[in-house]
Amino acid sequence: MSVIKLSEFIFRFTLSAADMATWIYVVLVALFLIFAVGLGWGKLWNRQWSLSRHFGNLFLVIVFAITAAFAVLNLRGISRVEGWFDEQKNSLAKTISSSAKFNRDVLKATWQELSASGGQSGLTPPDEAGNELRLNSPEEAHALAINAAEETRSALRLRLPFSLGVSLSTQSPEEIATETADAIKYDVSSYPTIVTASNEWTTTAATLQTNHALDAAWNGINGINARTGDLKTACLWLLLASFAIPLFTIPFAALNDIKINPKG
């Protein structure tokens, strides 16, 4: 992920998850730059200094106030995003796997795949409000986990952070299904077994797929963590420039105003 792409994500993330303290910092920085630097600093050099009579300087001060506020907004986002990713590992998989629509979609997809073999006799199809599925073998449980992993991938595209443009990298459904089987450790003698739409196989597959996607988004080669340092440095330089340039230009404008209007 490039610094520009990361900046866009952090900016959109902060806008969607900003707390009151963030907005207070942003507003205070912008106001400080306008009134303390743009106006107060000028008056130290020229008591008659006023930005209202110097539209060019007023425009520049407002621009730098905006860039400083933008830098502060991004810095606040960077400081919060790692903790937010950790929280998502605990909450996002639960949100997806507890979704009634998600569970029904996985059940329907698996039913259509398994019903052709005739192993679902006696159960009501999902299209007729049925909520159960018979797993007659480890292979059928594997198929359920594959569908859950595939459906999780679709669900993740609509969730933060991926809905904000972060690249979605997932494992193949087959790999997730194998990991799911290893995690559950069902004995062959447990089959056949009947599961509901919300079941251990679906939940485990959704959790594994979600955590892999979040880990890849944060710790991957092109992940967010690899570039946050660069973005933080860029924001600090932007913040420094937003203050430094007016601190140098305002005195020159104020002193020049005295030369032009010596009696002012």
Residue 131 has pLDDT above 90, yes or no: yes
What confidence score (pLDDT) does residue 20 get?
Answer: 86
- Say which residue, 168 or 82, is predicted with more confidence: 168
pLDDT of residue 186: 78
Rounded-to-10 torsion of CA 73, 57, 246, 257: -160
Residue 196 contacts residue 132 (beta carbons within 8 Å): yes
pLDDT tens digits for range 62-75: 999 999 999 999 89
What is the pLDDT at residue 264?
A: 47
Beta strands in 113-210 (DSSP E): 132-135, 193-196
Q: What is the DSSP string of 155-183?
A: HHTTSTTGGGT-------HHHHHHHHHHH
String of DSSP letters for 70-96 = HHHHHHHHHHHHHHHHHHHHHHHHHHH
| Cα-trace Rg, the chain | 29
**pLDDT tens, position by position, 168-215:** 999 999 999 999 999 998 788 888 999 999 999 999 999 999 999 999
In this predicted structure, which of 97-106, 147-156, 187-196, 205-214 has the lowest mean pLDDT?
Answer: 187-196
When pLDDT is cut at 50, 70 and 90, the band that residue 263 belongs to is low
pLDDT, average across residues 26-34:
95
> β-strands 132-135, 193-196: how paired?
antiparallel
Mean pLDDT, the chain, whole residue set: 89
Q: How confident is the model at residue 1 (pLDDT cuts 50, 70, 90)?
A: low
pLDDT at 208: 96
Q: What is the pLDDT of residue 22?
A: 86
